[in-house]
Chain A
Amino acid sequence: MKLKQTGPWIEHSGPDADVVVSSRARLARNLSGLPFVNQASDVEKREVLRLVQTLPLAGERSEELVWIDLQQSTPEDRRLLFERHLVSRQFLESVSPRAVAIADDEQLSVMVNEEDHLRMQVLLPGLELEEAWRRVVDFDRRLERNADIAVHPRWGYLTACPTNVGTAIRFSVMLHLPGLRLTNELERLRRASNDLDLAVRGFYGEGSDSSGDFYQVSNQLTLGVSETDLLATFVGEIVPRIVAYERMARDILIERSSTLLEDRVHRALGTLRSARLLAIEESMKHLSRVRLGIALGLLTDIPLGTVQRLFLEVQPAHLRRVQPDSIDNTALEPVPEDRLLDDERTRRRRADLVRTALTEPY
């Protein structure tokens, strides 16, 4: 599979990177004249794939698209795409004809035959929702010039699930909120989000937990609010408020229990620098504390990008890719997903990777 070792942008930190890890704009589109994916036969699904693949979608930024046919990829490669937030869990687990197109910089990607014919996203580091929106809408315009997209005069863009109609857009930000968790303020955030029709999800979206204190906040309403109004609310109100709330929680922690906080941060770094076995959850937990320590200026010798990269590289499929086991000759052979479990060898490999990354000069 033609994917780089880690997403090329992963080590870049964008605006407000102390709290905002990444920004995403995603559009759902369906071709008219064809059944939605859930009702389509394999022949029709292949027809969708063929159609989309032949469209001239490359933009001026030399958006060279790499196509990956998921039916012909290995479970490990599929898992890699998932860990990199390029495909959803549902897409990973499906068995029917489907593909993902990924731009060279991995910021733009298009899932074909997920719940909708096309789900295209632009994922950028830090708080850059406006740029994500600009780029995804550029792509959408090219798509619309070349394909007949299903729209309704009253309900706008049509989607397989009627709760996504209208703009069919999902703006989301991935936030690092250890301060709000440590000060027990998350429940309040969830309630406030609910009142504002926002969904708060875990690290890997729907149904996932908030591993490493990462939370994904996204809009739920898609009808009756234009994309630009929604974007303005996200960028002008919602995200700045949550960011300010998190920073306030961090300030309170420093003010009231700075020694305890410093202790937690340094213990976490100590564990990561000395452990010989690291389980996935444990590594996420300690990396989260180290990330907080960097953001607060308690740790000055570790770049944020290094920690950000480690969050990705400790995931099972990435771990196999970046740290092949020299004893295990079959390390790079395709393996079924259950072999990607957190066994002792995996945990040792993870500990080696993290220890080296956080000990060597950067």
Chain B
Amino acid sequence: MNTKCDQCDKPAEVHEIDAIKGVHVHLCREHAIEAGFQVPQSAPVTDLLTQFATMQAPTQSPKKVEKPAACETCGSTFARFRKTGLLGCPECYEAFCKQLDGVIARSQNGASNHTGRVPDRSSALIDLQALRRSLIEELDRAVASEQYERAASLRDRLHTLASESGD
């Protein structure tokens, strides 16, 4: 039970089989999150979100100036989100767009674009160009990180999108 983390001296909390290499891996909470494993369910979601959010922070330091301190619509702050795991209103998604990008992608296996139903009336709101651009970016990332299955499904979606918009 007291296995150590493969990457540091902390006790391992996640014990998984690496399906690609076919070996057992033992990781502490931090390294497990870093490696993209699901950590045990006992961890409160808000803790995870906090860690995701903190990990996200350094990569975007140059553009920090843009970051609004609070959502203009409801007054909710990102610090509050870190504490509660909840946003204050739909507009918070725009106000904290940059930080949420990482949080959402990490909780959703890297996905960052909605596929599926949209309300009939708002389908016109979907900016197809923007969607295509972000799909292409995601595809590049998937190829770079050798996630070929994911890349294939992204490619399929780009094809579908192209045929739907009459290209």
Contact = CB atoms under 8 A, between A and B. Distances in A.
Interface of A: 30, 32, 34-36, 38-39, 115, 137, 140-141, 144-145, 149-158, 160-163, 165-167, 191, 194-195, 197, 199, 221-229
Interface in B80-132: 84-90, 93, 100, 103-104, 107-109, 111-122, 125-127, 130-131
Contacts of B143: none
In order of increasing CB-CB distance, the 3 nearest A-B pairs are A224-B111, A156-B114, A39-B88
B132 to A, nearest CB: 11
Contacts of A145: 120
B130 A153 contact: yes
Contacts of A229: 115
A223 B90 contact: no
Given A36-B89, A167-B114, 10 more contacts: A36-B86, A38-B84, A39-B89, A154-B112, A156-B118, A161-B86, A163-B85, A163-B107, A222-B108, A224-B112
Nearest to A191: B16
Contacts of B116: 156, 166-167, 225-228
A94 to B, nearest CB: 14
B152 interface: no
Nearest to A190: B41
Given A162-B103, A223-B108, A154 B130 contact: yes
Nearest to B49: A163
7 contacts: A38-B84, A144-B120, A154-B134, A156-B116, A163-B104, A195-B19, A225-B111
B76 interface: yes
A194 B74 CA distance: 36
Chain B interface size range: 35 or more
A199 B42 CA distance: 12
B55 interface: no
B114 A30 contact: no
Indicate the member of B84, B87, B109, B130 with the most A CB atoms within 10 Å.
Answer: B87
B38 interface: yes
Indicate the member of B88, B89, B103, B113 with the most A CB atoms within 10 Å.
Answer: B89
A161 B85 contact: yes
A151 B125 contact: yes
Contacts of B103: 162-163
B45 interface: yes
Contacts of A225: 111, 115-116
A162 B93 CA distance: 8
B48 to A, nearest CB: 9
A151 B123 CA distance: 10
A160 B87 contact: yes
A160 B114 contact: no
